[in-house]
Chain A
Amino acid sequence: MVKKDLSIEFLGVKFPNPFCLSSSPVGNDYDMCAKAYDVGWGGVVFKTIGPKSYVINEVSPRFDTLTKEAEPFVGFKNMEQIAEHSLEENLADIRRLKKDYPNNVLIASIMGNDEETWEDLARKVTEAGADMIEMNLSCPQMTSHAMGSDVGTNPELCKRYCQAVKRGSKLPMMAKMTPNITDMVPVAKACLEGGADGIAAINTIKSICNIDLDKKIGMPIVNGKSSISGYSGKAVKPVALRFIQQLRNGIPNLQISGIGGVETWEDAAEFILVGSRTIQVTTGIMQYGYRIVEDLCNGLMHYMEEQKVNKLEELVGLANKNIIPAEELDRDYIVYPEIDKDKCVGCGRCYISCYDGAHQAMEWDEETRRPSCNHDKCVGCLLCGHVCPVGAISKGEIVFKKTAKPGRKIADIRL
């Protein structure tokens, strides 16, 4: 039985493990958050609390999913906005959670519609006992343009709202970024200038998941119409990792709470390696329940064991330096595919993909139903390896190109 210390400090607050509910339907009230703590979540970002004047009125239905073959959904579209309970109810729940779960972290997510309300909400959640504040500058489905992701693309506005929150509270505070922007760094910098201590990224991506082909309406259908709204789940992980990497490049040592499609410990480890200190999850929970934290924690412990690290902190950001601009990559060599003919089941998918999607280098023996690679044509793209259903194709022989710098040694190449 593996036992590793998963605790980590983020913005000066100690988390028993890095896994938190993100601000969303999964942390909507006391009972839900209490159950999540009981199952093992290290922290909770309570569903975003808005100003009293902003009345929540949700649509029905409000979700849609992107499926692929027989997979459970890979992407999830959500039209729900922020907490629908009254401000008083939410504050009471926060108070009670902190009393009953003093060792777990409770983060209050807030969203104002002007400086005054941001400041007021910050003050109120601090009084209620929250450990940290997350500013929701990024919800893409708000019914007001003074709130949500429209704010999150405006650095100046973000800075002013951060300042307002800091006036209302001395708690550590992170600003939650929208990915519906080309470059997140200027907004994150503005937030830090305004007083934010760290950044949470990413919120959901504006999306249309599916169109009903008979009715010609986006999904989900709300009385004959639909809207663009936030997309999440496994499918957005690559986008989230990219933004986090760019944030860490643009703002060295930035403290980040990573969000975006985490389902497994492997996903979580990737977020940590690009520089996240905590991990927030919603879609995985909506799909599979709070129980996924068991395998997130246990799997991450095993990974720490394999990596021979005792503190999770040691893994944070280890991949950042290995992700470099395309122009700096070594372009001197080709690595040819190596085909394990015993593993090969003779489906010919490598042959099809190489012919139709690459360089016609894979040759096909019709008699034996086995492929072989013609090195004269192969450019070493290794598409073949990606389509092989049995993992029979791996990286094989390395050869330097004619254009390579002289004197290079194969032994120096790290595959």
Chain B
Amino acid sequence: MSKNYLEEYDAAFTPKLVMEEASRCLLCHDAPCSKSCPAGTDPAKFIRSVRFKNFKGAAETVRINNILGSICARVCPTERYCQQGCSRSGIDKPIDIGRIQRYITDFEDSLKMDILEKKPLNGKRVAVVGSGPAGLASAGYLALEGFEVTVFEKEAKAGGYLRYGIPEYRLPSEVVDKEVKRIQKLGVKIECGHLVEELESLKKEYDAVVVASGHNKGKVLPIFAGKRFVKTAVDFLHNAKKKKGNIKLPENVLVIGGGDVAMDTVTTLKLLGVPHVTDVVYETFAEFKASKKELIGSQEQGVTIIDGYIPVSLKGKTVKFQHRFIPSELKIKADLIILAVGQYTEAGLLGLEVKKTQEVEETANRVKDNLFVAGDIAHGEKTVVYAVRSGKEVTYAIKKFLGVK
């Protein structure tokens, strides 16, 4: 395991180890893993290909089903999806599906395989706002269906949260670069440094518009509003990744939150050399939101995690917490406080009426006229694999709307 922010944390499988892991697979009938991948990546099929030494076939399965296969392989909380139903758990532990997928997509890269085949242009043009996972996936799937796609990205480089959120040790920028290139190769134009401020002109110029700008802003709890020593995890991770970890940090940092973003934040802090990192979490360990793998990773780095406390007041740089169930108080003083308590979207600025997750039907990506949404805006804050699914859904919806066969 790496201890360097710029190095991938988990070691890759060797050819022998990937065979060993694939041969642990029970090769289930009607495999539960494949049924629980939101993007339909079909792990049962690609693992079986590995088992029978057909790495190229495995790469085809991954790539055709999941246009962001190399990224999902690294960042997907597989324990909540494919690995959750793994029959092997009945014997010992689930198959390490993510790492097998990573091996396969690395193999695909090493051979420079060109798997995706696009249909001839259908004469329709689509604009995609945002180049995060949902924007990239939407653009990719639309291009495969013959649409001429242009993506508008406000940052200098494409990738959104993939590039500016998920830390380098978990998702190297190089992997994002390759994935973006693969999508550009399908004919997708990506205009970086282009902030979309209104949608009407795009709606007129293009046959359809997909807004996939994500939940890109970190929430701030009221007691912390306006304090200079308080940052959001989104901003912190963005800054760390942009500067390749070359940032100044104090010795004592307090993080509040217990999701995967919080885990990314605390682990990043540790890898960047902060000696004292304390994470206070609303959920108790039994309810923990972050994936086990990320939780363990942060604990291995020596992060102090305290569960079940709510922040109630701030005095100077000291935060007072109360336990949710028992009469217990906690005071922590820190030089820097980072909030990882959820994200929200600024899509409202575009005049989009933003609905709560529950109100959005999963296949109803169309908002009105020729305007569509994908990713977190459509589904609420979710995962990269969900963004891939969303990209497929919006492609289907646009095809139907424009009468493309």
Contact = CB atoms under 8 A, between A and B. Distances in A.
A410 interface: no
Contacts, number: 47
Nearest to A371: B29
B28 A348 contact: yes
A400 interface: no
Contact of B27 (A70, A345, A349, A364): A349
A389 B29 contact: no
Interface string A365-400: 010010000000000000000000110000000000
Contacts of A347: 26-29, 87
Contacts of A344: 90
A349 B29 contact: yes
B253 interface: no
Contact of B19 (A70, A348, A351, A390): A70
Interface string B27-50: 111101000000000000000000
A366 B31 CA distance: 11
A346 interface: yes
Given A346-B90, A389-B91, A69 B27 contact: no
Contact of A69 (B19, B87, B90): B19
Given A348-B29, A364-B29, A69 B23 contact: yes
Contacts of B89: 345
Nearest to B28: A347
Contacts of B16: 70
Interface string B187-202: 0000000000000000
A366 B30 contact: yes
A352 B30 CA distance: 10
B29 A345 contact: no
B91 A345 contact: yes
Interface string B64-103: 0000000000000000000000011111000000000000
A390 B90 contact: yes
B22 interface: yes
Contacts of A348: 28-30
Contact of B29 (A70, A352, A390): A352
Interface residues of B, number: 19
A351 B29 CA distance: 8
B166 to A, nearest CB: 31
Interface residues of A, number: 16
A242 to B, nearest CB: 28
A287 B5 CA distance: 41
Given A347-B87, A389-B91, A390-B90, A70 B20 contact: yes
A301 to B, nearest CB: 31
A351 B20 CA distance: 24
B23 A70 contact: yes
B55 to A, nearest CB: 13
Interface in A343-367: 344-349, 351-352, 364, 366
A209 to B, nearest CB: 15
Nearest to A362: B29
A69 B26 contact: no
B26 A345 contact: yes
Q: Residue among A344, A346, A352 with the most chain B CB within 10 A?
A: A346
Contacts of B26: 345, 347, 349, 389
B15 to A, nearest CB: 10
Given A69-B22, A69-B23, A70-B23, A345 B88 contact: yes
A366 to B, nearest CB: 7
A349 B20 contact: no
A69 B91 contact: no
B231 interface: no
Interface string A61-104: 00000000111000000000000000000000000000000000
B389 interface: no
A376 B22 CA distance: 36
A50 to B, nearest CB: 38
A344 B23 CA distance: 19
Contacts of A349: 26-29
A70 B25 CA distance: 12
Contacts of A70: 16-17, 19-23
B63 interface: no
A352 B29 CA distance: 6
B241 interface: no
Q: Residue among A351, A364, A389, A390 with the most chain B CB within 10 A?
A: A389
Contacts of B19: 69-70
Q: Residue among A344, A348, A352 with the most chain B CB within 10 A?
A: A348
Nearest to A389: B26
A364 B88 CA distance: 18
Contacts of B215: none
Contact of A390 (B22, B23, B91): B91
Contact of B87 (A345, A351, A366): A345
A41 B346 CA distance: 77
A366 B21 CA distance: 26
Interface in A326-351: 344-349, 351
Interface string A139-180: 000000000000000000000000000000000000000000
B392 interface: no
B51 interface: yes
Nearest to B90: A345
B176 to A, nearest CB: 31
A352 B90 CA distance: 19
Nearest to B16: A70
Contacts of B17: 70
Contacts of B91: 345, 389-390
Nearest to A71: B23
B23 A346 contact: no
A389 B25 CA distance: 10
Interface in B113-170: none
Q: Residue among A71, A347, A349, A351 with the most chain B CB within 10 A?
A: A347
A344 to B, nearest CB: 8
B180 to A, nearest CB: 33
Contacts of B30: 348, 364, 366, 369
Nearest to A364: B29
A366 B29 CA distance: 10
A69 B19 CA distance: 6
Contacts of A389: 26, 91
A360 to B, nearest CB: 13
B258 to A, nearest CB: 32
A82 B316 CA distance: 86
A389 B26 CA distance: 7
A71 B90 CA distance: 22
9 contacts: A69-B19, A345-B90, A345-B91, A346-B87, A347-B27, A347-B87, A349-B29, A351-B29, A390-B91
Which 6 interchain pairs have the tightest Cβ spacing?
A: A348-B29, A345-B90, A70-B20, A69-B23, A347-B26, A70-B19
Given A346-B28, A390-B90, 10 more contacts: A69-B19, A70-B16, A71-B23, A344-B90, A345-B88, A345-B90, A347-B28, A347-B87, A349-B28, A389-B91
